[in-house]
Structure 1
Amino acid sequence: MDHEIAWTHGTAGEPSAGPEDVLRLLRDAVRPEPGGRVEILVAECETCGPGEEFEVAKGECFCVGCCIPLGITDGYAHPAADYPWRLEASEVPLPPASPGPGFEPPDLPRCPAGHDVFHVAVALAFAADGALRGVSVGLRCPEDGALCLYVDNARVVPCAA
């Protein structure tokens, strides 16, 4: 099964429009396992700061200001993680990743209006014992408010550094 992005209409132009929409998308989509919890945060670049927008490619989100990735695919997205990780698809396939340098997947995400820069929110699902179990990523187009669930509850698997 291919990774397909399903876009919904956001609320561009309304007072509530903004990253709050993508947070709401993740709150509605991600549920903790029994005894667990979910943390949902608007993505911020450690170098450029809050309010930065991201380009999305090869299963990762890159800051428009400095091109540094968020670390969704390798575990550096969460400062408390004491190990790198890799993601495994749950019931929904993962976004396409690069098979090598210079490869550009033909299906880079674009909103229905064709924009390719997004606000990003990340949901981290923790088990009752505090271990990170899953990652979800939502995208919101700041131009037209379109929303999508880019990574849907991918399983987090610890791996060696």
Structure 2
Amino acid sequence: MDHGIVWTKGAVGSPAAGPEDVLRLVRGAVRGEPGGRVETLVAECRMCGAGEDEFEVAKGECFCVGCCIPLGVTDGDVCRSSRRWRLEPSEVPLPPASPGPGFEPADLPRCPAGHDVFQVGVALSFTAEGEVRGISVGLRCPVDGAVCLYIDDARVVSYAA
């Protein structure tokens, strides 16, 4: 099964509705477990210091438009209180992670209108013991409001760094 990004048609509500739209999308995608909890957030770059909230997306990762530092979706940096991790697909395959340097055009998602910079919503599901169990990532085009689910409840597998 190939990974396919399915976008909403145009704006959800209105283009000015804001990144809350993508939070609703990822909140619905994460499957919490008994005794656990789900946390959602709109991603902002911690390195830029200016609250940069727009990202280019490639190879399963989100890169800040301001400083090009990855958000840490694929390795666990997105959740500072967690151990390092790698992702395994749940019911839906992960986005492609092409080998080699540089970005391949097929690795770069675009909204239906052709835009390639996004606001990112992240949902993390935690076990009853407080360990991250799964992650969903949604993308929202800040220009036209279109949203899609980029990573659908991927399993998080901890590893020692």
The TM-score, its normalising length taken from structure 2, stands at 0.92
Q: In 2, distance between residues paired with 1:69 and 1:2? A: 24
Q: In the TM superposition, what whole-angstrom CA distance separates every residue of 1:116-143 from its partner, at most 9, and x where no partner exists? A: 0000011110011111100100100001
For residue 21 of structure 2, give the secondary structure of its aligned residue in structure 1: helix
Counterparts of 1:141 and 1:68, CA distance in 2: 20
In 2, the alpha carbon distance for the partners of 1:108 and 1:134 equals: 23
Match of 1:72 in 2: 73
Q: Is the 8 A contact 2:52 2:66 kept in 1?
A: no
Amino acid at match of 1:29: A
CA–CA distance in 2 between the matches of 1:102 and 1:141? 23
How far has the Cα of 1:27 moved from its partner?
A: 2.1
Percent identity of the aligned residues?
A: 73
Superposition CA RMSD, Å: 1.4
Look up the equivalent residue of 1:121 and give its one-letter code. Answer: G
Count of residues paired in the alignment: 158
Residue 34 (structure 1) aligns with: 34
Q: TM-score, normalised by structure 1?
A: 0.92
2:76 is equivalent to residue 89 of structure 1: no
Structure 2 distance, partners of 1:108, 1:11, is: 25
Q: Which runs of 4+ in 1 moved over 6 A?
A: none
Partner SS, residue 150 of structure 1: strand
Unmatched tracts of structure 2, length 5 or more? none
Q: CA deviation at 1:59?
A: 0.5
CA distance in structure 2 between the partners assigned to 1:64 and 1:53 by the alignment:
6
